Amino acid sequence: MQFSDRYGSAPSAIARPTTDRSSEGTEMTTPSSGRRMDGGRALIKALEMEGVETIFGLPGGAILPVYDPIIDSPIRHILVRHEQGAGHMAEGFAHATGRPGVAMVTSGPAATNIVTPLCDAYMDSVPIVVITGQVPYAAIGTDAFQECDTTGITMPVTKHNFLISDAQDIPRIIREAFHIATTGRPGPVLVDVPKDIVDPKNPRSAMDWYWPEEVDLPGYRPVTAGDPEAIRRAAELILAAERPVIYAGGGILKARAAEVLRELAELTGIHVVTTLMARGAFPDDHPLALGMPGMHGNYTAVTSMQRSDLLIALGSRFDDRVTGKVPAFAPEAKIIHVDIDPAELGKVRRPDVGIAGDARLVIEALIEAIGELGGPSRQPDRRAWGEQIREWQQRYPLTYQPSEPGEALKPQFVLETLRDNTPDDCIVASGVGQHQMWTSQYWKFNHPYTWVNSGGLGTMGFAVPAAIGAKVGRPDRMVWAVDGDGCFQMTAQELVTAASERIPVKVAILNNAYLGMVRQWQEMFYEERYSEVYLSPDLPDYKMWAEAMGCIGMRVESPEEVLPAIEKANEIDDRPVVIEFRTDSREKVYPMVPAGLSNDEIIVDPAHGEGGH
């Protein structure tokens, strides 16, 4: 076996269990006396042992020996139309369920096609396991047909990757892959499988089945419990702060810490901002909720962080879209920074108290420490701070100008209508661009794990396949994808997958005939020089395209048609639905902090006066 040298492995230390959880119900055996098996069957059996119920994938020559035993497995395989779709579906599944998503594709171009989802999952700490086929081991390095250096290409965008060289290693490597993907800071893990290792006709694929009971990776020891002394110092800072803000990031959701976050906020009375990746981690209808900060965050969330004297950063990473110009970010604030990844502490902003650990465990310890130090009654009078926040909320709410009769739809109106006419726990997936920011701004996320989004990489084409993956993981929930016309054209073919598999996702396309966010930047920063950004409202015909893919297609052009179309879509539960909403291309996302500027230079909607500043 070969694999990148980031974590060690100790195969000799692996224990052999005595029971087998696979569907076949056979007794566990040891390598020396075990049941002989080929590598392809062993790989599928190992996935069954990990509890995998669904694989998103597309077969090809190098991975065919692994696809053959799927026929006899209880694992559901969903045949995608492009390997990128498989990766995003695995991500959507993981976002919605908290369990690792699994994708499997063949070698060469299939492997390179799934690099984008791997990078997307890496940036957003999404646990997925991707299996790729590879040319026979002896052919590696010979430029064989459809050979590429998959592990070399993916090393910078995976948490870890493996190249299997011995069929006997398969159960252990699959066990380790899932362990690495789901522990510590979650992330994508890739397993590259040479064809001869899994081909039953090749002697190199013969192995004795076993299942490792434990994982022993000497170089991999995530720290989960925070340092007690640091937690006590953090509690003292919280009890002393006059203008504190909790800066909740996506790590809250990864740690399943939404409930304890609410407990901490209510105990201390401290307001909470939720980053783009943390939407839903704290309910938007809570009196302490401030909503999303950042480049397109609301005025109050951005400014309260900027004027705070203490930022309690929980599972957040001081992303440049949140901080704006880093030296000018929250200049008077002390920083408590909690993150499962020690490398994040001090990477962008040096913390006054840095705590490496699992967000849920650290918050629980913080609550306990606050109680030991005298509880919230020890805090200073923060009524003036609360009044200031309420004044900002009243003066600078999110706003837009409704469309006049005969004008194109306003995207915010479409989203408000969709939000108000779907279940409270509806899962929403978005693409990337203006529609993504409007959805995050105008939707009310009152439940965790209802927002499926590409935050770090900002991958156009994410929404449709991610929504399909989310619906597969949570078939009991309604799932809507909100997409732009530019995004939709990148991965729309996966609606063929959804239609053929009877996965009833619903898609709202906000068609403004432009690459909207690019157009907005050209309008604001390039003197309205609209270079290569126009897409056309009519090419393609989205309604006919949707119907050609087996979906119900609708087109909406006037405000009075919006609600009936949404209600009709909500009633359809046996196939995908696509609604094209013709929206106003002139509409821009406000507020906005221009790239490279301070959050103090936030531009608000012109309706607020003062020239929008």
Any idea which residues carry the catalytic annotation?
Answer: 83, 145-146, 195, 517
Q: How far apart are CA 432 and CA 84, in angstroms?
A: 16
Write out the E strands in 169-215: 188-194, 206-208
CA distance 494 to 471: 13
Extended beta strands in 42-118, E state: 54-58, 76-79, 101-105
Q: Which pair of tokens denotes residue 308?
A: 């705070």
CA pair distance 208, 29, nearest whole angstrom: 8
Check: CB of residue 53 under 8 Å from CB of residue 70: no
In DSSP terms, 392 is beta-bridged to none
Element (H, E) at 465: helix 463-473
Please give the Cα distance from 361 to 319 (Å, whole number): 23
- Exposed, middle or buried: residue 501 (CB in 10 Å: 0-12, 13-18, 19+)? middle
**DSSP symbols for 466-526:** HHHHHHHH-TTS-EEEEEEHHHHHHHTTHHHHHHHTT---EEEEEE-SB-HHHHHHHHHHS
β-bridge pairing 310-314 and 289-291: unpaired
